[in-house]
């Protein structure tokens, strides 16, 4: 069953800002977008996510995916900018940070205000990237606090890209076939 890409999502205007979603993006039922949120072409925001942007914008880049139960929030002058082909793992927290293109943020990872994750990097599951941390391009970071453990290999970068590609397929599946049923 094909439905509108915003069917059953909560789209909330606040402070004169209304979320903007490209027609080619997918927003799952139960996701909540609040305020100055922009979701670009091919991007997806999955079930239970909350993207709340009343203090600064949140931008989700082309072909990026925000997986289930992720939370994004901004502070004054601290936007969230997610580049293209980025995968944000389940239950991640992104707060006032910039994530460049072709990055994977692992499940339960946290990226805090003014942090910047460079292109072709991987932030491991459960890592906490502290405020103001600069992650160089092609870095694998892990730990609490997150530290660069090594440079990403070409194979590792390719796996990050494949993850984003797999979510393009999953978002198409959900966009084209998901049907919200009455509660049981």
Give me the pLDDT at residue 98, please. 99
CATH number of 169's domain: 2.160.10.10
In a domain, 184, yes or no: no
d(Cα 105, Cα 54) in Å, to the nearest integer?
A: 23
Cα distance between residue 4 and residue 174, in whole Å: 11
pLDDT greater than 90 at residue 58: yes
Inter-CA distances, 166 with 41, 54, 146, 179, Å: 16, 31, 26, 21
119 falls within a domain: yes
Q: Is the per-residue pLDDT at 184 higher than 70?
A: no
In a domain, 4, yes or no: no
Which tokens go with 171?
Answer: 């978002």
**pLDDT 10s digits, 156-165:** 999 999 999 9
At 8 the pLDDT is 84
Under a CB-based contact definition with an 8 Å cutoff, are residues 50 and 27 in contact? no
Does residue 183 form part of some domain? no
* Residue 107 is assigned to a structural domain of this protein: yes
Total number of domains in the chain? 1
Residue 2 pLDDT: 34
> What do you get for the CA distance between the two ends of the chain, in Å?
20
DSSP H or E run through 176: helix 154-177
Helix/strand/coil for 69: coil
Looking at residue 5, its pLDDT comes to 55
**Greater confidence, 178 or 142?**
142
83-139 tens-digit pLDDT: 999 999 999 999 999 999 999 999 999 999 999 999 999 999 999 999 999 999 999
Hey, what are 165's tokens? 């590609």
DSSP state of 160: H
Q: How far apart are CA 90 and CA 8, in angstroms?
A: 20
What is the pLDDT averaged over residues 47-67? 98
Specify the pTM.
0.94
Q: How confident is the prediction for the chain on average, in pLDDT?
A: 95
Phi/psi for 170 (5° steps) reads: -65, -40
Residue 1 in any domain: the answer is no
Q: What is the pLDDT of residue 1?
A: 26
Half-sphere exposure of residue 184: CA atoms within 13 angstroms, side-chain side? 0
Residue-number span of the structural domain to which 144 is assigned: 10-177
Question: Over pLDDT 90: what percentage of the chain?
Answer: 91
Contact yes or no for 96/112 (Cβ under 8 A): yes
In this structure, are residues 114 and 97 in contact, taking their beta carbons and an 8 Å threshold? yes
pLDDT in tens, 2-39: 335 566 899 999 999 999 999 999 999 999 999 999 99
């Amino acid at each position: 069953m094909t439905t509108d890409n915003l069917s059953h999502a909560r789209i909330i205007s606040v402070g004169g800002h209304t979320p903007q979603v490209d027609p080619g993006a997918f927003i799952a039922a139960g996701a909540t977008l609040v305020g100055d949120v922009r979701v670009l072409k091919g991007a997806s925001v999955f079930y239970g996510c909350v993207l709340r942007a009343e203090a600064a914008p949140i931008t989700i880049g082309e072909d990026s995916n925000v997986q289930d139960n992720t939370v994004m929030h901004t502070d004054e002058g601290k936007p969230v900018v997610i580049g293209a082909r980025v995968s944000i793992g389940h239950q991640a927290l992104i707060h006032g940070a910039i994530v460049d293109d072709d990055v994977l943020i692992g499940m339960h990872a946290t990226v805090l205000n003014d942090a910047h994750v460079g292109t072709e990097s991987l932030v491991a599951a459960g890592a906490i990237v502290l405020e103001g941390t600069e992650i160089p391009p092609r870095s694998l970071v892990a730990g609490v606090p997150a530290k660069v453990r090594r440079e990403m290999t070409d194979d590792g970068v390719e796996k990050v890209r494949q993850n984003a590609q797999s979510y393009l397929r999953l978002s198409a599946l959900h966009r084209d076939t998901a049907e919200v049923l009455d509660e049981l």
